[in-house]
Amino acid sequence: MRKLIGSAMVAALLMGVGCGKKEEQQVVKTPEGDVTVTRKDGEVSSVTVTGKDGTTTFTQSGGELPKDMKVPVYPGAGAAESGSFRASQQGNEGVEHVSSVMLHTKDGLDKVKDFYQGQLKEKNPHIFEMSVPDGKMVTFAMEGEKRSTTVVLTENRQQGGTDIQIVSVKN
């Protein structure tokens, strides 16, 4: 998992760099392996990191919830600036998938929290509530046989409303 997170940081840096034509690939050779950046119409669509421990692929989209996340989207929530990404790592221990989506709604944190408490009730989530410098934060954490899912709700006083981050890790 640490290698996947380290690769995620490299991919995040590369996803913000450069522009292109219709579709192009750029390969960067590093001591740890090769990094392939694929751009479609000037936008980075995927980053693949290949090294001795396996291959990790990152894809980014505009806030679409991956179909296999098994968590409902709050009604009326839209994609936040950072959108969503999916990373898959193929290594000696099998395949691990990490999906993340960032959403925003104008609804208040308490209303969004009530929605997720009702929707996730059967999954018996661990619920953590805390105060943060800019307001409140609520986290729903669920563990399954081969999947862990976290829903983080954060009060967004600047834009008004609530930021929603859904992260799923599947082995």
Mean pLDDT within 69-79: 84
What is the CATH topology of the domain spanning 66-82+90-171?
A: Alpha-D-Glucose-1,6-Bisphosphate; Chain A, domain 4 (3.30.530)
The whole-model pTM stands at: 0.69
H/E run at residue 131: strand 126-132
Asked if residue 13 has pLDDT above 90, the reply is no
Pairing of strands 33-40, 126-132: unpaired
Q: From residue 90, how far is each of 11, 54, 147 by CA, in Å?
A: 16, 5, 16
pLDDT digits (tens, 9 = 90+) for 21-40: 578 888 888 888 888 888 87
pLDDT more than 90, % of the chain? 27
d(C-alpha 105, C-alpha 159), whole Å:
9
How large is the greatest C-alpha to C-alpha distance in the chain, in angstroms? 49
Domain ranges of the chain: 1-61, 66-82+90-171
d(C-alpha 51, C-alpha 35), whole Å:
9
d(C-alpha 109, C-alpha 137), whole Å:
8
pLDDT digits (tens, 9 = 90+) for 93-105: 667 778 888 889 9
Mean pLDDT within 121-127: 93
Tokens representing residue 146 in the block: 């081969």
